[in-house]
């Protein structure tokens, strides 16, 4: 096996495919990857395309990625069969900065659970763990953690009917009231609008947070400029950004570049991403 994995892709056989739900599948590969929670790899399906995916499962000899079947590429990816070859470059990006404390909240929205799951596994067992999704079917990893999760869904099909921010705000206020120690860090990943709300909430209570952003990517290593968000290079400076950085990022939840390099607002960006 090649020692360097962030240059030309290494081709790995799909060792195991786990269907998580109607929309999600997790693909496992037997390879010992150097890895930090929050980092991502570029996955190449030869002849098709190459896209960034977070590592959602990791141990010494195996790693996994969880993919939501949305467009052409991700549908092809979840349709791969055991034994099929896929290419990998990476891992890229900075990953989460972890602190040792139990006054931590982790807030996952939908597929945003993917990068957070290996992080949670490194954290204290008595952290606050909030998990939201469109509906019950989109809740990932039901039996993965021995940590209690607070669940919410947009449609109320499981847990609280409403947003993750509702639960986070309740927790913060509750801690204030009960004289519990305030949160020292909030980690979050999910739709950018959700992360932005979590960020604003944290700001109003002076709690530092770390969010994991997503932009269209080409190189993955900070050269091509496809993924810039303001003056930040998401693939290299990020994808994880902390509050201090986010305060300087005017484009957070506002502007993203299309494939052509054209800067558009997030609505336009997502409707472009839906075209195929």
Ligand X SMILES: Cc1cc2nc3c(=O)[nH]c(=O)nc-3n(C[C@H](O)[C@H](O)[C@H](O)COP(=O)(O)OP(=O)(O)OC[C@H]3O[C@@H](n4cnc5c(N)ncnc54)[C@H](O)[C@@H]3O)c2cc1C
Ligand Y SMILES: Cc1cc2nc3c(=O)[nH]c(=O)nc-3n(C[C@H](O)[C@H](O)[C@H](O)COP(=O)(O)O)c2cc1C
Backbone φ and ψ of 168, nearest 5° = -65, -45
Determine the interface stretch with ligand X among 8-16, 67-75, 117-125, 152-160 (rule: CB under 6 A): 67-75
Helix axes 192-204, 164-177, angle to 10 degrees: 20
Per CB under 6 A, residues contacting ligand FES are: 217-220, 222-227, 233, 235
Q: Which of residues 102-141 bind ligand X (CB under 6 A)?
A: 111, 114
Partner touching 225 among ligand Y, other proteins, ligand X, none, CB below 5 to 8 Å by kind: other proteins
| Three-state secondary-structure class, residue 232 | strand
Q: Which of residues 187-246 bind ligand X (CB under 6 A)?
A: 214-215, 217, 239
CA distance 138 to 154: 10
Interacting residue with ligand X among 5, 54, 150, 153 (CB under 6 A): 54
Tell whether residue 79 is a contact of other proteins (CB under 8 A): no
Q: Map residue 237 onto helix, strand or coil.
A: coil
Length of the chain: 276
- The residue nearest ligand X at its CB is 71
Q: Other C-beta atoms within 10 Å of 212: how many?
A: 29
Token couple for 263: 């800067």
Per CB under 6 A, the segment of 52-60, 83-91, 133-141, 152-160 that binds ligand X is 52-60
Beta carbon nearer to ligand X, 68 or 251: 68
Element holding 29 (H helix, E strand): strand 24-29
Question: Is residue 71 at the binding interface for ligand X, with CB under 6 A as the rule?
Answer: yes
**Could you tell me the two tokens for 276?**
């195929």
Cβ–Cβ under 8 Å, residues 216 and 257: yes
| Residue 124 beta carbon to ligand FES: minimum distance, rounded to whole angstroms | 33
Q: List the one residue out of 265, 259, 256 whose CA is nearest residue 228.
A: 256
Distance CA 27, CA 17 (A): 5
Q: How many CB atoms lie within 10 A of CB 53?
A: 20
Binding to other proteins in span 199-228, by CB under 8 A: 217-226, 228
Applying CB under 8 A, which residues contact other proteins?
4, 6-9, 11, 42, 44-51, 72, 76, 85, 87, 89, 217-226, 228, 230-231, 233, 236, 250-251, 257-263
Q: What residue ranges bind ligand Y (CB under 6 A)?
A: 223-224
| Chain contacts with ligand X (rule: CB under 6 A) | 40, 51-54, 56, 65-68, 70-74, 111, 114, 214-215, 217, 239, 270, 273-274, 276
């Amino acid at each position: 096996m090649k020692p360097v994995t962030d240059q030309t892709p290494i081709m790995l056989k799909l060792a195991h495919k786990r269907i998580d739900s109607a929309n999600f599948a997790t693909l496992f590969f037997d390879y010992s990857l150097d890895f930090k929670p929050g980092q991502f790899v570029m996955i190449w399906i030869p002849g098709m395309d190459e896209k960034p995916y977070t590592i959602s499962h990791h141990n010494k000899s195996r790693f996994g990625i969880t993919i939501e079947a949305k467009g052409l590429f991700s549908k092809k990816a979840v349709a791969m069969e055991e034994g099929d070859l896929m290419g990998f470059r990476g891992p890229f990006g900075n990953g989460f900065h972890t602190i040792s404390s139990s006054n931590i909240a982790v807030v996952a929205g939908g597929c945003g659970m993917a990068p957070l799951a290996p992080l949670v596994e490194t954290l204290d067992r008595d952290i606050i763990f909030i998990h939201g999704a469109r509906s019950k079917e989109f809740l990932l990893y039901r039996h993965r953690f021995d940590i209690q999760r607070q669940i919410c869904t947009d449609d109320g099909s499981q847990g609280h009917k409403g947003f993750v921010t509702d639960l986070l705000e309740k927790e913060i206020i509750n801690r204030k009231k009960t004289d519990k120690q305030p949160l020292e860090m909030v980690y979050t990943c999910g739709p950018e609008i959700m992360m932005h709300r979590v960020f604003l909430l944290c700001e109003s209570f002076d709690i530092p947070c770390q969010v994991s952003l997503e932009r269209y990517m080409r190189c993955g290593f900070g050269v091509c400029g496809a993924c810039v968000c303001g003056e930040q290079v998401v693939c290299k400076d990020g994808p994880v950004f902390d509050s201090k950085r986010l305060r300087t990022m005017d484009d957070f939840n506002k502007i993203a570049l299309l494939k052509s390099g054209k800067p558009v607002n997030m609505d336009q960006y997502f409707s472009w991403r839906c075209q195929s």
